[in-house]
Amino acid sequence: MNKATDFALDSTLGLSLVAIFGVLWIAFGWYLGRKNKSHEDFALAGRNVGFALAAATAMATWVTSNTTLVAPQLTYQLGVWGMVGYSFAALGLILFAPLAARIKHLMPHGYTSGDFIRLRFGRAAWWVFMVISVVYAMGWLVSLGMAGGILLQALSGLDYHIGMSAILLICVGYTLFGGLRAVIATDFIQALIIIVGVVGIAWFLIDTVSLETIHTELSTDHPQLLDLLFPAAVMFLFNNIFFGLGEIFHSNVWWSRALAFKGKVAFKAFMLGGLLWLPIPIVTGFIALAAPQLGIFPPTADMVGPMVAAEVLGKVGAIVVFIVVFSALASSLDSLLAATSDLVTRDFYHKKLRPAASDQQLLRVNRYCIAGLGVLTWLLCLPQIATLGALLNFAGAFVASTIFPIVFGLYQRRLTGGYAALAMGAGTFAGLVSYFAIGFYVAALVSCVVSALICAVGLWRSRTLFNWQDMQERA
Amino acid sequence: MLGLTGFSVLVTVCLILTALAPVVLLGLWLKDLISKQLW
Amino acid sequence: MPNRARFVIHISLLLLITLFARPSSALSPSTAEYPYSLHAPEVSREGYFVLNAQAQPSISVQSLWVDHATSAEFSHITRSYPWLGRGVADFQQITLTGFTSGDHYFRLRNAAGDVLSNVVHVRVDHYPLWQALGLFFAGLTVFILLVVLIIANHRTASRTKISQSKGANHE
- CATH classification at residue A236: 1.20.1730.10
User: Nearest chain C Cα to A445, which residue?
Assistant: C139
A386 has pLDDT over 70: no
Q: Residue B32 and residue A50: Cβ atoms within 8 Å?
A: yes
Which residues in chain B have Cβ-Cβ distances shorter than 8 Å to A45? 39
Q: How far apart are CA A408 and CA A31, in angstroms?
A: 41
Three-state secondary structure call for residue A393: helix
Amino acid A159: pLDDT: 86
The mean pLDDT value for A96-119 works out to: 94
Q: How far apart are CA C145 and CA C139, in angstroms?
A: 10
Q: How deeply is A371 buried, as exposed, middle or buried, from its count of CB atoms within 10 A (0-12, 13-18, 19+)?
A: middle
Nearest to A133 by CA among A467, A454, A405: A405
CA-derived radius of gyration, chain C: 30
pLDDT tens column, A157-174: 788 899 899 999 999 999
Give me the domain span that covers residue A29. 2-394
pLDDT band at residue C166, thresholds of 50, 70 and 90?
Answer: low
pLDDT tens column, B3-32: 889 999 999 999 999 999 999 999 999 998
Contact status of A219 with chain C (Cβ, < 8 Å) = no
Worst-scoring range by mean pLDDT, A111-120, A122-131, A303-312, C14-23?
Answer: C14-23
pLDDT tens column, A240-249: 899 999 999 9
Amino acid C114: pLDDT: 86
The mean pLDDT value for A358-384 works out to: 93
The minimum CA-CA distance between C134 and chain A, rounded to whole Å, is 8
Contact status of B24 with chain A (Cβ, < 8 Å) = yes
The mean pLDDT value for A178-195 works out to: 90
Q: Tell whether A444 is covered by a domain.
A: no
pLDDT band at residue C170, thresholds of 50, 70 and 90?
Answer: very low
A324 has pLDDT over 90: no
Q: How far apart are CA A286 and CA A75, in angstroms?
A: 7
Q: Tell whether A319 is covered by a domain.
A: yes
The mean pLDDT value for A272-290 works out to: 92
pLDDT tens column, A400-446: 999 999 999 999 999 999 999 999 999 999 999 999 888 878 899 99
A2 has pLDDT over 60: no
Worst-scoring range by mean pLDDT, A274-278, A296-300, B2-6, C27-31?
Answer: C27-31
Which residues in chain C have Cβ-Cβ distances shorter than 8 Å to A301? 48, 95, 97
* DSSP H or E segment with residue C93: strand C93-96
pLDDT band at residue C10, thresholds of 50, 70 and 90?
Answer: low
Q: How far apart are CA C142 and CA A246, in angstroms?
A: 14
Nearest to A146 by CA among A371, A384, A332: A384
Name the percent of chain B in helix, strand, coil, to the closest 5: 80, 0, 20
Amino acid C90: pLDDT: 73
pLDDT band at residue A457, thresholds of 50, 70 and 90?
Answer: very high
**Does the CA dihedral A305-A298-A236-A252 come out positive or negative?**
negative
Rounded alpha-carbon distances, angstroms, from residue A173 to A25, A49, A193, A318, C107: 8, 22, 20, 26, 50
User: Nearest chain A Cα to C152, which residue?
Assistant: A411
User: Nearest chain A Cα to C154, which residue?
Assistant: A98
Q: How far apart are CA A43 and CA A178, in angstroms?
A: 9
For chains A and C, what is the number of CB pairs under 8 angstroms?
A: 143
Worst-scoring range by mean pLDDT, A65-69, A87-91, A144-148, A329-333?
Answer: A65-69
pLDDT tens column, C96-148: 998 989 999 999 988 888 888 899 999 999 999 998 899 999 999 999 999 99
Amino acid A4: pLDDT: 42
Worst-scoring range by mean pLDDT, A85-89, A127-131, C33-37, C76-80?
Answer: C33-37
Amino acid A320: pLDDT: 85
Give chain A's domain count: 1
Amino acid A411: pLDDT: 94
Amino acid A387: pLDDT: 63
The mean pLDDT value for A213-217 works out to: 91
Instruction: Report yes or no: A162 and A15 within 8 Å, Cβ to Cβ.
Output: yes
Q: Tell whether A437 is covered by a domain.
A: no
pLDDT band at residue A310, thresholds of 50, 70 and 90?
Answer: confident
pLDDT tens column, A394-407: 889 999 999 999 99
C63, C81, C131 member nearest A297 (Cβ): C81
pLDDT tens column, C14-69: 555 555 454 444 444 454 578 888 899 999 988 899 998 888 877 777 788 899 99
Contact status of C160 with chain A (Cβ, < 8 Å) = no
Q: Helices in A211-351 by DSSP H: which ranges?
A: 211-221, 231-250, 252-260, 265-277, 280-289, 304-343
Q: Residue B38 and residue A196: Cβ atoms within 8 Å?
A: no
Q: Residue A51 and residue B13: Cβ atoms within 8 Å?
A: no
pLDDT band at residue C150, thresholds of 50, 70 and 90?
Answer: very high
DSSP codes joined into one string, C146-159: HHHHHHHHHHHHHH
Amino acid B3: pLDDT: 86
Rounded alpha-carbon distances, angstroms, from residue A147 to A138, A167, A382, A385: 14, 10, 12, 12
- Residues 6+ away with beta carbon under 8 Å from A474: A109
Q: How far apart are CA B16 and CA A370, in angstroms?
A: 38
Mean residue pLDDT of chain A comes to 89
Q: How far apart are CA A346 and CA A111, in angstroms?
A: 7
* DSSP H or E segment with residue C87: none
A194 has pLDDT over 90: no
Q: How far apart are CA A51 and CA A59, in angstroms?
A: 12
C-alpha C49: how far from its chain's center?
4
At residue A460, what are phi and psi to the nearest 5 degrees? -75, -40
The interface predicted TM-score (ipTM) is 0.94
pTM: 0.87
Amino acid A70: pLDDT: 81
For chain B, give the percent of residues with pLDDT over 90.
67
Amino acid A3: pLDDT: 40
Q: Tell whether A277 is covered by a domain.
A: yes
The mean pLDDT value for A45-59 works out to: 91
Give the CA diameter of chain A.
Answer: 71
